[in-house]
Chain A
Amino acid sequence: MNRFSLAVSGGIARVTEAALGPYQTAVVRIGFSATWLLFLLRELPHRHELYGPDGPWSWDLAQQLIGDNGSFTVLMWSDGRVWFEIVYALAVLSSALLMLGWRTRTMSVLFMAGVLSLQNRSVFMGDGGDNVLHLMSIYLVFTRCAQVWSLDARRALRDRAARARGERVTDRTGPLLWGVLGFVLVAVTLAGRMQGDWLIPVLLWTVWVVLGLWWLVGRRARTGEPRVLLDVVANIVHNGALLVIMAEACLIYATAGWYKVQGSRWQDGTAVYYPLHLEYFSPWPGLADLLSASGTMVMLVTYGTVLVQVAFPFTLFNRRVKNVLLAVMITEHAVIAVVLGLPFFSLAMIAADAVFLPTGFLRRLGGRAVRARERLRRRGGRARLPGQRTSESPEATHVGFGA
C-alpha cells in the first residue's frame, strides 16, 4: 500500500513539475505545421477549386451541410472571394509561424482555426492525412510545444539574460496580438457567427482568457503562488494532451491493423499488390510492377505491414523494440509517399510517429541541424546578423548540446 501511494505521489510530481517531452512535442509541432504549410503552398493554384466560394463544393452546398453537422469554419462567415483569400493567407502564415514557434500558443490556435476552416469547408476533398492533421491541430493547442527549437524559446532565453543583468523586459507584441484577437473574437461572437457546435468557440475563448490571465498574473501577482499554479496547470494540461496525442497514434495503428487482420486479401498475402494497381494510387506503374513482381515479396510486405501495425502499441513497453518498429513504420510511410503518391498523408503520419522518437536521437538531430547551418553560414561568408548577440549570456549559449 505504501509503495502504491509512493508511486502515485511520484507520478503526480512528474506530471505537475514539468511539461514532458519538450523535444517530442516540438518535433510534432514542426512536423504538422510544415505538412500543412507545404500542402497549402502546393494547392495554391487549386485553392479556389478546393475551398473557394465558387468551387464545385460551393458555398451554398457547404452551408447546408454545416447547418446540419455544426462543424467549425470561418469560411462560412462570408461568401466573398476576398474573405476566402484572407483566410487562406492567414492559414499559410499561421502554419509558418507555428513551425518557427513564434508566439506559439496563439499561433497554434490560429493554425487550428485555419486547418478546421479549410477542411470543414470542403470535407469531401480530404483523405486520411487531412484527418490526422485535423485532430492533431486541436490537440496541439493544449501543449507547450515551443520549449525547444522555437523563436519563443530563444526569446525566453534572451529575456532571462536581460533580467539577470537587471534590465526591464517589456513585451509589446504579445498584448497587441492579444488585443487584436480579442477584438475579432468579441466582434464575431456579437455578430452571432459562432453558431454550430460549441466546442471550438469555447476553446477559442478559453485560450484567449487564459492568455490574458497569464499576462496579468505574471505582472501583478504579489506572491509567486498564482504564477506557480498557472504553470503547474499548464504542465498538467500539456501532459494530458501529450498522452492523447500518443494514444491517438496508437489508435490509428491499432485500428488500421486489427481491421486488416480480418481481410481476406491481407490473409492470403496479396493485399499490397492491389493499391499499386489502382488508377488513383499508381503514379509510377513501372515501379509498382517491379515491386509486385515477386509474390513472396508482396506477401512478406503484406504480412509485415499488418504485423507492425498491430504490434506497435504493445512495443511501447520496450524501448528498443519500439524504436526498431518506429524506424520500420517511418520508412514504410516514406515509401508510401512516393509509390502510392500520398506525400502529405505520409508526412502527417511521420509527424505523428515522431512523438515516439527517443530524446537522444532528437537532440543529436537538432545539434546536427545547427552545425549544418553554421557550416552553411561560414561557407556563405556572411557576417553574423546584428540581432544575434554572442556575448550576452555565456551560460545560455552552451546549454543543451550535451548529446
Chain B
Amino acid sequence: MDAYDEGSTARHGPDAPSTPTPPAGHEAPVDPSGPVEPFGTDGQRLPYPPREPRTGIAALSLRYQVGVALALAVVAIGVCVHLGMTFLHVAPANTVTRAHGKAVDDWIYPEFEQNWKLFAPNPLQQNISIQVRAGVRGPDGMTLTTGWYDLSAEDGRAIDGNLLPSHTQQNELRRAWDFFVATHDGENRPMGLRGALSEAYLRRIMVLRLTDDDAVRAATGGAGVIERVQVRSRTSNVPPPPWSREKVSTTPSYRELPWWKVARDEAEGGVR
C-alpha cells in the first residue's frame, strides 16, 4: 500500500547513515534505553544474526531459495484467502456467499467473527429499558411482589458523568436483552440452545442486580429470598430533533415476559 510504502522509504532517507555523530539539533546525551532504532542502515536491520554481512536471498543457495519461495507462496495465498473470506463475511449476502457460505463460515468462526455495522444502516432510535420485578419470600414466610425496577435507568445514571463506563454498566444488560430477543420468537418461546442459554443468562443478571439493589433489600427487610422474577422491556422512541418536522409517538410500548422461577441456590448467592 502506497501510504505505507512512502513511509518506509522516508525512513531510509535522512537517517540511513549510522555515523557516530549525533544528528544536528539534537541534545546530547541520548539515553540508550530510549526509542532508538537498533538497526541503523538498511542491510543491518536483521536482529539476528548480529554481525552478518548484507545478505539478500540472492546470496542463498538454491535449496534455501526454494524455501523462501515456498514461504512467500504460502503467506501470499494465506493472506489473500483470509482477506477474501473476511470480505465475504462482512459483505451483504451475495451470489458468492449463497454458494459458498459454509466455507466462509468455517474459515471465519469462531475467532474471526466481526460486525462493523456500527450505528448502521441506521442508529438505534429507541431507548429500550429493561425492567424487573420479583416475588420475594420474607423471613416470616410471607411472599410479596416488588414494584418494577428500571435497571437500564440505573445503568444510565451510572454512566452519567462517567469518563470510563464499565462494560457491566454499558453492555451487560443491553446485550443480554439483544441476545434474548434474537433467540426468541414473538411469543417469547426460546429457539434452540441459545434461546435457553439467553433465558438463564437474563434471569441470573436479574437476580444479581436485585440482590445488589439497596431498594430491594430495604423492601424485603434484607433477609428476603427471591423466588421468581419477571422481566419486561419498555421501548420508547427518541423524540425527533427540535429542528425536524417529524412526528413520532412518544408513548412507550412494553414487552412482558412470563414469570421465571429462581432456583434456591441461584437466589442464595450462586450469582456474584
Contact = CB atoms under 8 A, between A and B. Distances in A.
A17 B46 CA distance: 8
Contact of A42 (B8, B46, B166): B166
Contact of A244 (B34, B35, B83): B83
Interface stretch (A90-98, A185-193, A222-230): A222-230
Looking at chain B's contact residues, is the secondary structure mostly helix, strand, loop, or mixed?
Answer: loop
B36 A246 contact: no
Nearest to B206: A56
Interface of A is mostly: helix
A395 B23 CA distance: 12
Contact of B241 (A46, A229, A270, A402): A270
B175 A373 contact: no
Contact of A283 (B1, B120, B160): B160
A24 interface: yes
Given A319-B3, A359-B7, A240 B201 contact: no
B119 A275 contact: yes
A16 B68 contact: yes
30 contacts: A16-B57, A18-B42, A46-B167, A52-B272, A57-B204, A71-B110, A127-B167, A127-B171, A131-B113, A153-B36, A153-B37, A154-B38, A156-B47, A228-B55, A229-B64, A240-B79, A246-B1, A247-B83, A255-B90, A277-B127, A282-B159, A283-B161, A317-B2, A323-B3, A358-B6, A360-B10, A398-B26, A398-B28, A399-B18, A401-B36
Interface in A173-211: 196-197, 199-200
Contact of B15 (A19, A341, A371, A402): A402
Interface residues of A, number: 151
Contacts of B52: 224, 227-228
A182 B176 CA distance: 38
Nearest to A149: B35
Given A21-B8, A251-B116, A259-B117, A229 B60 contact: yes
A164 B29 CA distance: 22
A278 interface: yes
B125 A359 contact: no
Range for the number of chain B residues in contact with chain A: 35 or more
Contacts of B239: 277
B31 A398 contact: no
Contacts of A5: none
Given A157-B38, A390-B29, A359 B64 contact: no
Interface string A337-368: 01001110000000000011111100100110
Nearest to A377: B31
Contact of A69 (B23, B37, B110, B240): B110
Contacts of B111: 71-72, 116, 134, 138, 197, 199-200
Interface of B: 1-4, 6-8, 10-11, 14-15, 18-23, 26-40, 42-43, 45-52, 55-57, 59-61, 64, 67-68, 71-72, 75-76, 78-79, 82-83, 86-87, 90, 109-125, 127, 129, 152-153, 155-156, 159-168, 170-172, 174-176, 179, 193-194, 197, 200-201, 204-205, 208, 238-241, 243-244, 270-272
Nearest to B207: A56
A153 B46 CA distance: 11
Given A124-B201, A358-B7, A244 B79 contact: yes
A228 B29 CA distance: 35
Contacts of B201: 56-57, 61, 124
Nearest 7 pairs of A and B residues by beta carbon: A402-B15, A400-B37, A263-B121, A295-B243, A71-B110, A259-B120, A255-B116
Given A240-B76, A240-B79, A398 B56 contact: no
A218 interface: yes
Given A154-B38, A157-B32, A371-B27, A244 B124 contact: no
Interface in A132-155: 134-135, 138, 144, 147-149, 153-154
